[in-house]
Structure formats: structure tokens, C-alpha cells
Amino acid sequence: MKRIVILVSGYGSNLQAILDSCKKREISGKIVSVVSNDCQAFAIERARLANITTYLVASKLNKKDFFNQKLLKIVDSCDPDLVVLAGYMKILDIEFVLSYFGRILNIHPSLLPKYPGLYTHRQVLKYRDTQHGASVHFVTEKVDAGPLILQAKIPVSCNDTEYTLSVKVKEQEHKIYPLVVKWFSEGRLEMRGNNQVWLDGCKLPPSGMCI
């Protein structure tokens, strides 16, 4: 059974989706700890309610180098097979990424490579896109630029707002993130040389899979 550590910063809805999937035994893994950089993150309470060990490494109270070292030390102590970023809003430093290269997943609220970073829903409306969605990818040195695994697309209507798009995209995130964690926990998903994604022994295209 794979050991999973989840990093969080906020409300924790994706954490909850993964917790629920584990509870249903859809994921062949165990969440061994949840680590947050924000003491006010509701995700911490979600983890505690599920009897999962929690850690706080407050990014606002620690200098950058000390924060990075402390985070890596805590995660190392949990001996994870997989690190999942679930609404984690702190950029991982290069040492952390290289320590768990090929074993870190992230989810982003856009159809990457479009709109990395913040305010994705606003940009979709600004540029009058007809499609929006969410992307799960492996984490590499560049933010939101790791190889794509799975995307979910939604249509954008003329009546959509940033709020309605956020609700629709979040609904898709809750479907695809537990699924990708499931694939990894079953040994079906891996990142090989040249940052190529393989699923069930087949190389995925650069755009990953799409639902």
C-alpha cells in the first residue's frame, strides 16, 4: 500500500475528495500525513477529523531557507511514496522537487499549458475561451509546467462568471484527482526519462489524457 503525504494551504476540498476515495478503498494507498503552511487552513481540520497526523510549517513565520528545510525534513520523516499538492499555494524549492522527482502530483484549474499561475477563471473570461477545465500533472522545476497526466474540460457559456467557473472546475477536480492518485497507487502511472508520462505501459501524448 502506497504511503501518501498531502500538502495543503486552504479549504481542502480536493483533500476531502481523496480522503473519501481512500475510505471507499478506491485508492490502494494510505494518507499518512497532511502538511500545511497555513494555520488557518480548514484542510487541517478535515485531516484531524479523519484521524490523520497533521503538521504545520508556517511560511509566514519562517525564513525561506528554514521553511524549505523544515518542510523537507517533515515529509522525509513520513517516508512517502507519493506527495500530493492539494491546493498548496507555496512554490516548492528545487531540492524538494528533486528529492521526490516523479512522485509529486499537482492539480491546476486550467487546461494547461494555458494560464499557469493565478486567476485562471478571470483569464478564461477575458479571452472569451469556449472551454475551460482542470489539469493534473507531475511536478517539475517549473511551476505548472510538468508533464500532463489527465485533464477535464467544461464548456464556457456567455452567462458564466469567475464564481460559476470555479464551481464547475472544482467539481471536475474532485473527479480526476482521486483517479490519478488511484493510478499511481496501483503502480499503473509513472514518469520516465525526458519527463514522459506512462500509463498502463503506454506513453501518453504531451497533452495527457482527457475526459
Annotated ligand binding at 90? The verdict is yes
Alpha-carbon distances, residue 178 vs 23, 26, 47, 118 (angstroms): 12, 9, 16, 23
How large is the C-alpha radius of gyration of the chain?
A: 17
Q: What separation in angstroms does the CA of 177 have from each of 18, 87, 109?
A: 7, 12, 12
- The answer on whether 195 is annotated among ligand-binding residues is no
For residue 162, give the C-alpha cell: 469567475
For residue 201, which amino acid is it?
G
The span from the CA of 71 to the CA of 92, in Å, is 9
C-alpha grid cell, residue 36: 500545511
For residue 203, give Cα distances in angstroms to 57, 81, 147.
Answer: 37, 21, 12
Asked whether residue 91 is marked as a ligand-binding residue, the answer is yes
Clarify whether 137 is annotated catalytic. Answer: no
SS3 for 172? helix
Query: Is 106 annotated as ligand-binding?
Result: yes
Residue 104 is assigned to a ligand binding site: no
Residue 187 labelled as part of a binding site:
no
Q: Which residues contact 119 (CB under 8 A, 6 or more apart)?
A: none
Instruction: Please pick, among 108, 132, 137, 174, the residue that the annotation labels catalytic.
Output: 108
CA contacts within 13 A on the Cβ side of 113: 6
The reply, when asked if residue 209 is annotated as ligand binding, is no
Q: Is 62 annotated as a binding residue?
A: no
194: nearest Cα among 112, 99, 101:
101
Instruction: Please list the active-site residues.
Output: 108
Binding site as annotated, residues: 12-14, 89-92, 106
Binding site as annotated, residues for (6R)-10-formyltetrahydrofolate: 89-92, 106
